Amino acid sequence: MKKPGDHRTGAEFIDTAHVYLKAGDGGNGCASFRREKFIPYGGPDGGHGGKGGDIWFEASSNITTLAEIACHPHITVANASPGGGNRRDGLKSEDKTIYVPRGTVIKRDNKVLADLKNHGQRFLVAKGGRGGRGNTAFKTQFNTAPRLSENGEPGEKFEARLELSVLADVGLVGFPNAGKSTLLSVISAARPKVAAYPFTTLNPNIGIVSHKAVNFAVADIPGLIEGAHSGKGLGDMFLKHILRTRLIIHLVDPQGFSSIKPEKAVRVIEKELKQYHPKLGKKTAVLAVTKADLPEAEMVCKALSKKFKNREIFLISAISGKGVSKLLDFVIKLLPRIKEEDLYQAADPAEGQVSLKPVKKGFVVGRDVDGIVTVNGPKIIKMIAMTNFSQPDSWDRLRRIFRLIGLDKALKKAGVVQDDLVRVGGREFQWSDTPAATGRPAKFAYKYRKFEEEH
């Protein structure tokens, strides 16, 4: 029994969800030295940080809606533990697996990352950061006592959109009250809501049909109306669930719908399918005139047979069972003939929905709105995040890297002069052409503040 004010429904169908993903950060490396009695030159023994946990999405046949994820959209993984002295490495944080329905498409920036169709199919959606290295990793014959270590790499963090498109072999379409839900309840064990008013069905219903030892899934799509492809009557939300079906059964009410006659109703629905997606217009479709018990049903069936001579047309009644077996015979005969390549693919290159391309390496030099030179790029941002600025040796190492990757030359080319501010990876640096006292080039003097924190 529901508590007062509780409006939730346990079987609520949700087919879209925005999620905020944050994989685990890697643990920081440790800079320490072995100090034991009678061992004057123990050397560095700082351990490495653990790896941050990943976020996985896994398709499951036991889930039919994105409701659980929509109610808990913030998905995070704990950070890994840091390394310690005596070469103790940090512990890896546990991965997190999120179960989603089969047919879930994962998108980032409107680009398809994955299309999870099969039960048990997994996808690594957000990768955890690697652990920072301890000072044992920086020991060389020229630097036997390195006093530097790395911070852990930040885990991936971004927003993603999940879209569920039900997976069924057959889709039942038509105007409201054409008898789709009634037919599904007769041929399968599904129990959709059936009533004598339009838009009784508000969410797709799926049932498994077993006919002559052949099993196939049938989806009852909510009623469509004219203008559905542009969102009228929530049609755009319903039409996407027909994209993955192999066969369409178009149910026609012999009494028509509102002032639309049966013949025009067929053309309206087919036009909506084509306008929503070209693949829908090419799908194999069968016409079935419902409510065969009505006097005008047979007349309408004959009229449609004359208008659509190249189409298979059936006269059925879900109540009495007339013609239903004949329709199912045709379905199980036709389904094996439909080729897999003719079906809709969420990552079809022709639609511009392609997997994300790898981000270019290196850096890009530009200017911010306030005129300050900025340096951005995935490698640069990661490098800054993993640098421990409290260690002078780490600071010197960063200077050398800037020089080796050509950042110094690029900044000079961009017009940077003495004491100019430069923003690199969210931190502010002050340009200096004066060599350091050690004789090593020191093109930057760190200002010890984070730009991101102040803005």
pLDDT tens by residue, 51-81: 999 999 999 988 888 888 999 999 999 999 9
Q: What angle (nearest 5°) sits at the alpha carbon of residue 318, between those of residues 260 and 271? A: 35
Cα–Cα dist 89/393, whole Å: 21
- Rounded Cα distance, 268 and 265, in Å: 5
Task: Specify whether 27 is located in the same domain as 148.
Answer: yes
Residue 60 lies in a domain: yes
Q: Please tell me the distance from the alpha carbon of residue 208 to that of residue 316, in angstroms, as a whole number.
A: 19
| Structure token pair of residue 342 | 């003719």
339 and 206 in a single domain? The answer is: yes
Looking only at the bridges linking them, the beta strands covering 421-424 and 373-376 are: parallel
Q: Are residues 256 and 295 in the same domain?
A: yes
Strands 284-289 and 247-252: parallel
Same structural domain, 118 and 183: no
Indicate whether 377 belongs to any domain. Answer: yes
Do 282 and 245 meet the contact criterion of CB atoms below 8 Å apart?
no
The rounded distance, in Å, linking the Cα atoms of 361 and 378 is 7
Q: Residue 185: which domain range?
A: 170-345
With a CB cutoff of 8 Å and minimum separation 6, the contacts of 415 are 373
Structure tokens at 91: 């512990």
Helices 378-385 and 392-404 pack at an angle, to 10 degrees, of 170
Q: In what order do the strands lie in the sheet with 122-126?
A: 96-101, 55-60, 122-126
In a domain, 358, yes or no: no
- Asked if residue 332 and residue 286 are part of one domain, the reply reads yes
124 and 69 in a single domain? The answer is: yes
> Looking at the domain assignment, is residue 11 inside a domain?
no
Contact by Cβ (8 Å): 26, 132: yes
Question: Is residue 353 in some structural domain?
Answer: no
Q: Residues 32, 116: one domain?
A: yes
CATH number at residue 368: 3.30.300.350
Q: How many domains is the chain partitioned into structurally?
A: 3
pLDDT at 234: 43
Domain with 330 in it: what CATH number? Answer: 3.40.50.300
**In the prediction, which pLDDT does 15 show?**
78
End-to-end CA distance of the chain: 49
Q: Output the CA torsion sign for 346, 350, 352, 358.
A: positive
Q: Which of 117, 138, 164 is the last residue of a domain?
A: 164
Statement: the pTM of the whole predicted model exceeds 0.95: no
Is 5 among the domain residues?
A: no
pLDDT at 447 (0 to 100) = 46
Q: What is the CATH number of the domain that holds 21?
A: 2.70.210.12
pLDDT value of position 443: 46
Q: Report the pLDDT value the prediction gives residue 454, as an integer from 0 to 100.
A: 43
Instruction: Please say whether the beta carbons of 147 and 137 come within 8 A.
Output: no
Pairing type for strands 16-22 and 74-76 reads parallel
Q: Which of 369, 379, 438 is nearest to 404 (CA)?
A: 379
- Nearest Cα to Cα of residue 122 among 153, 156, 99: 99
Using CB atoms within 10 A of its CB, is residue 262 exposed (0-12), middle (13-18) or buried (19+)?
A: buried
Q: Are residues 146 and 207 in the same domain?
A: no
CA proximity to 159, closest of 209, 106, 97, 229: 106
* The last residue of a domain, from among 164, 189, 209: 164
Domain shared by 291 and 176, yes or no = yes
Residue 259 belongs to a domain: yes
The identity of residue 274, as a single letter, is K
The residue from 102, 129, 164 where one domain ends is: 164
Q: Which two tokens stand for residue 53?
A: 């946990």
Q: Are residues 328 and 294 in the same domain?
A: yes
**Residue 6 within a domain:** no
pLDDT along the chain (455 residues), means of 10: 39 79 96 84 91 95 87 95 94 96 89 89 95 94 91 95 84 82 83 54 74 86 57 52 82 81 83 78 83 87 85 87 90 83 53 43 81 87 91 89 88 85 85 57 45 42
| Integer angstrom CA distances of residue 121 from 55, 105, 281 | 14, 12, 30
pLDDT of res. 8: 38
Query: 58 and 185 in one domain?
Result: no
Are 180 and 323 in a shared domain?
A: yes
What is 208-267 written as a DSSP string? Answer: EEEETTEEEEEEEPPPP-TTGGGTGGGHHHHHGGGTT-SEEEEEE-TT-BTTB-HHHHHH
- Contacts (Cβ under 8 Å, ≥6 apart) of 63: 99, 100, 101
Dihedral (CA of 105, 353, 280, 337) sign: negative
The alpha carbon dihedral of 277, 283, 289, 290 has a sign of negative
> Would you state the structure tokens that stand for residue 364, as one six-digit string?
């890009």
